[in-house]
Structure 1
Amino acid sequence: MGRERFSSRLGFILISAGCAIGLGNVWRFPYIVGQYGGAAFVLIYAAFLVLLGLPIIVMEYSVGRASQKSAALSFDVLEPKGTKWHFEKWFAMAGNYVLMMFYTTVAGWLLLYVFKMAKGDFVGLDADGVAGEFGSVLANPGLMTVFMLLCVVFCFSICAMGLQNGVEKITKMMMVCLLFLMVVLAINSVRMEGGRPGLEFYLKPDFGKIQEVGVGKVVFAALGQSFFTLSIGIGAMAIFGSYIDKERSLTGEAINVLVLDTLVAFMAGLIIFPACAAYGIEAGQGPSLIFITLPNVFNHMAGGRFWGTLFFVFMTFAAASTVTAVFQNIVSFATDLTGCSIKKAVCVNLVVIAVLSLPCVLGFNLWSGFMPFGEGSNVLDLEDFIVSNNLLPLGSLVYLMFCTSRYGWGFENFLKEANEGKGVKFPRQVRAYVTYVIPLIVLFIFVQGYWSKFFQ
């Protein structure tokens, strides 16, 4: 039996973008922009996406398309005889599983908030009351488990329907709805009275703000965000390369995915900054921005319950598109490694992921005494650190070395695969840059992650 293919190029682009578009764009991006100086930060971030993110995505796609396998076997197929590149598969697979250990919980919160918004749970509450609502969700492991399980079952059942009929069809619908909802919410936000200062902060670069925060800090935050928004380095993108035909060159496809990913992050800012400015709310409030700050904003707004419900529906789609894409990867690991059926891979992994997601749920209540990074930290922080600061950068390093080193797959093989088909070609002139410069930048991100966590 041949490998299943995407039925259309649009399907491939939307699903790859769906994998990249997730909480990184719509949950992390706005508050990081808020913390690191607004529009000037956005420019630096966009530059890093192209200089750093793009080459690594092209490499992941190439490894996937050339091997016709997921990360579980792609290195085995392509590596020179007698080399040990295939050990990377265990780290890539671990990355997908650990990512889902906390992502499913946050996706569950978003789904729960759709119902809370629609039901009117926040109506009439002041800022402390809204924060209290989120606190009571965190304190209730049963409720969090139910919504986490709903997300896990929903996304795995999409994978069980197969690539074309399930993942491609439903992700396409989710992505079209997501883009439509974003446009509606952004237009609504931009037209708010009093939202202008927020728009200026977001769209008018003021490099003085970067000096206030510290140039080094801003550059590192932009590097990190460009990296994590794309979830590169754990084979999450390579899988989609394995489902695409050779008609189009991979650089052009990667650019399309990058543009869509950036557009969604940009629109999320358009939704959030004017709204925060209109109601005098600090936009750099960290992860609580979505669950505490924004319900306050919707409370003040005419038709706030309607807009709030729409917003959380859109957030749930963004999270579910990523979860489905990563689940597709996890199912593919199982079928590639054991040759089992898709249905069996889904059933086994559904149980595995449900169990693995429990520590994150319990980390906010029954296990809240466990503080891996000191006061105020929890299980989610530890899991995020394992993926974001370790598996993503180190995995990216392996892909970079594999595609450029003569002891790996080699630059010529990579270039031939990346440039097969119509469309934008990967330039041979950047060989030295991708071989020596990007790996150093990635190592810097890795070391800096530890430095800022443990020594600052």
Structure 2
Amino acid sequence: MNNRERFSSRLGFILISAGCAVGLGNVWRFPYITGQYGGAAFVLVYLIFLVLLGLPIMVMEFAVGRASQKSAARSFHVLEPSGTKWHLQGYACMAGNYLLMMFYTTVGGWMAAYIFKTLTGEFKGLDSDGVAAVFNDMLARPGYMTFWMVLVVLLSFFICSLGLQKGVERITKAMMSCLFLILLILCIRSVTLPGASEGLRFYLIPDFTRFTENGVGNTIFAAMGQAFFTLSLGIGAMAIFGSYIGKDRSLTGETINICLLDTLVAFLAGLIIFPSCFAFGVDPGQGPGLVFITLPNIFNQMVGGRIFGVLFFVFMTFAAQSTIIAVFENIISFSMDLFGTSRKKTVLINGIAIILLSLPCVFGFNIWSDFQPMGAGSTIQDLEDFIVSNNLLPLGSMVYLLFCTSRYGWGWKNFLAEADTGKGVKFPAWARVYVSYILPLIVLFIFIMGYYQKFK
């Protein structure tokens, strides 16, 4: 008898999986990378890679989760041929989820802190140097950052402690609905600013001369990387939700819906940011500081800017929180699958563990700032991000690919049968050669290029 929890609705599954995918990669990384690589032409290439790279691997993660009815901690044990060692990937998946949370919770805390800062008018009357000073001052205060990080962790684990349907599903549904509503309000405000049309042109009309400015190869690689990382594939973060759904819908169709939602959020975030940047004469390719330094500046100059600033950071917090809740659900599921502990006990143990594990990232900006693991000016956060983004995600995706296509693993026939069970779009059987031989090479290329760019 399988007494595994289930989502109460298909919408719940789609919104939570999209919530896991919709994170800071969409709303923080996507706009500034788009700005750096020339706008609309980059977006076009990114969308092509999302379909070619992200979609098939996501279907495979869901298939492994649904067929095994387990989290990544145990799914390979259930499906692998006896005597093989595929289950070692489960340990890499667990490490990946914990490591991701070791720095993601800190950034989630920054977003929450910025709601408060904007609400209390801390940015009022400051110029761009003043706004930058507020951000740098926050990084220099370990106690302040720890407070917000702990708040984010406790809130997320509390939601997970309520259970899959009553907690994770119900609250993520509400959060994602609010997220879309706030996005639309901010989009309307942004595109109606005087001078916004220039930003819309940059973002929506491909200009391939811009594409070549950074070198075609670099731009293509950036688009591949973004398509790959936006869905958090390779560490079993998606496989868990596969294990919570029934067999009535095909996995390819559901994956398409999730990718569309994920892309829509990233696209709308760009519609807020680019028209605003151009309306106020700000460079949109400013890198990671875009959200914390550039945008508070823009809200300062806008009529009703404080209200829109608060709404924007509420939206950013929801985007971060939806991912944190989804990954926490995965971490809780690991422990329950491995040790058979109750949900409440698992939440308590992991809550304490994640808070302690998140402290190095917080301290890396201040009391441990002398430790620069990736070279001068780098932080502990950079190291943690590098281990997850440049190693565990691509290599983990490779394992899922090989496991689902190789006769030494779960195998193509089993994968296809699982992916195609239920109503909806079927996984293209003709794509077998592509996913077995070409896609692993592309993933390997992303992995090698990641190292090359980091250390050249």
User: Where on the TM-score scale, by shorter chain, does this alignment land: which range?
Assistant: over 0.9
**Deviation for aligned residue 1:11:** 0.2
| Cα shift readout 1:3-58 (whole Å, capped 9, x = no counterpart) | 00000000000000000001000000000000011000000000000011000000
Tell me which residue corresponds to 1:446.
447
CA deviation string 1:310-342 (max 9, x = no partner): 000000000000000000000000000000001
Tell me the equivalent position of 1:399.
Answer: 400
Cross-structure match for 1:169: 170
Q: Percent identity?
A: 68
SS of residue paired to 1:258: helix
- Quote how far apart the aligned CAs of 1:244 are: 0.3
Q: Which amino acid aligns with 1:339?
A: G
The aligned counterpart of 2:362 is 361
- Which ranges in structure 2 are unaligned for 5 or more consecutive residues? none
Distance in 2 (alpha carbons) for counterparts of 1:375 and 1:36 = 25
Aligned to 1:428: 429
Deviates more, 1:426-435 or 1:369-378: 369-378
Q: Deviations over 1:49-76 (max 9, x none)?
A: 0011000000000000000000000000
CA displacement, residues 90-141 of structure 1 (integer Å, 9 cap, x when unaligned): 1000000000000000000000000000000000001100000001100000
SS at match of 1:5: coil
Give the Cα–Cα distance (whole angstroms) in 1 for the partners of residues 115 and 372 of structure 2. Answer: 30
* Cα deviation, residue 197, structure 1: 1.1
In 2, Cα distance between equivalents of 1:75 and 1:382 = 28
Give matches, 1:109-258, under 5 Å.
109-258=110-259
Please state if 1:276 is matched with 2:251: no
CA RMSD of aligned residues (A): 0.5
Q: Distance in 2 between matches of 1:279 and 1:114?
A: 22
Q: Which residue of 2 aligns with 1:290?
A: 291
The equivalences for 1:52-63 within 5 A come to 52-63=53-64
One-letter code of the match for 2:363? L
Q: Using the TM superposition, give the Cα deviation of residue 195 of structure 1 relative to its aligned residue in structure 2, in angstroms.
A: 1.2
Tell me the TM-score normalised to structure 1 length: 0.99
After TM superposition, where is structure 1 displaced by more than 4 Å over at least 4 residues in a row? Answer: none
1:302 CA displacement: 0.2
Q: Which amino acid aligns with 2:33?
A: I
Partner of 1:82: 83
After superposition, what is the alpha-carbon deviation per residue over 1:147-169, rounded to whole angstroms, capped at 9, x for unaligned? Answer: 00000000000100000000000
C-alpha separation in 1, matches of 2:133 and 2:210: 33
Counterpart Cα distance in 1 of 2:302 and 2:222: 32
**Shift of residue 377 of structure 1?**
1.0
- Write the distance in 2 (CA, Å) between the matches of 1:200 and 1:372: 41
What is the DSSP-based 3-state SS (H/G/I as helix, E as strand, rest coil) of the residue aligned with 1:380? helix
Q: What SS does structure 1 have at the residue aligned with 2:425?
A: coil
TM-score of the pair, normalised by structure 2 = 0.99
Equivalent runs, 1:322-401 vs 2, <5 Å: 322-401=323-402
Q: Which residue of the partner structure matches residue 94 of structure 2? A: 93
Unaligned segments of structure 1, at least 5 residues: none
Moved more, 436-445 or 281-290: 281-290
Letter matched to residue 8 of structure 1: S
The CA distance in 1 between the partners of 2:341 and 2:398, in whole Å, is 31
Q: 2:98 & 2:12 partners in 1: Cα distance?
A: 24
Residue 372 (structure 1) shift:
1.5
